[in-house]
Amino acid sequence: MSDVILVEHAKTDAGAVISTVTVNRPDKLNALNRAVLEGMEQALGEVRDAGARCMILTGAGKAFVAGADIAAMQSMSPDEARGFAELGHRVGHAMEAQPYPIIAAINGFALGGGCELAMACDFAFASTKAKLGQPETKLGVIPGFGGTQRLLRRVGVAMARELVYTGKMIDAAEALRIGLVNSVHEPDALMGAARASAEMICANGPWSIELAKKVILKGRDKGLSDANRLEAIAFGRCFESPQQKEGMQAFLEKRPAKFD
């Protein structure tokens, strides 16, 4: 694993694995370049191979990810820029395709590509010191790693337009108000909050979590009838798994379920 991406694994009391992935370019405010994005792809596979039930994504130092590496992008040709954007999209899609949920722990700046990386996570917690935004239009470009599309799905079309067109930076409280993050925490409590949420996820059936993630993602852009059909199919598939038997038996016996 590249030293620009750090991966740590820890177990809950019940033995479930929670992985923490840290973007590690603090001297560059964790700016995204090709090495970081390729390292993220590798890290996702490592987390999956470790059997992790949840992953937490954060940044080293005072930034989550302050954006893409402008120095690396400045001289790109149109074809090179498109290829770089496609790599960013590939990482975002890979994050969404993983069977485990990913929680963004936004400890500082999450701008441009950093905000896009956070939005590719299942949900996000933010430090009170976090700053978020899509400032690409200030540089004469547009978001290139999914920002125009994931942002409108998170906060609505009008708010997405405002944030992209103005390029303004918002604080954690405003990000919470518009639904860009799920909760806001003091800096020293952020990782603990993310870990507590991950432990709650790990206590539930991993197969049901994986199916729920797939159905929510695939159903969000479908009509209600088609999306509900996806849900019904997935609900039926749950009953193929011994986890459903264990979960319901544990409920009836008034004991905690023990999922493999």
Q: Which residues are catalytic?
A: 116, 136
Q: What's the rounded Cα separation, in Å, for the pair 32 and 16?
A: 30
The DSSP H or E segment spanning 76 is none
Q: Do you know the residue count of the chain?
A: 260
Q: Is the dihedral of CA 220, 161, 85, 44 positive or negative?
A: negative
User: Are the beta carbons of 33 and 68 closer than 8 angstroms?
Assistant: yes
User: Are the beta carbons of 114 and 69 closer than 8 angstroms?
Assistant: no
Q: What's the rounded Cα separation, in Å, for the pair 98 and 115?
A: 19
The residue among 155, 47, 50, 145 whose CA lies nearest residue 101 is 47
User: Are the beta carbons of 59 and 107 closer than 8 angstroms?
Assistant: yes
The SS3 of residue 246 is helix
Q: What's the rounded Cα separation, in Å, for the pair 158 and 163?
A: 9
**HSE (CB half, 13 Å, CA atoms) of 102?**
25
Q: What's the rounded Cα separation, in Å, for the pair 53 and 95?
A: 14
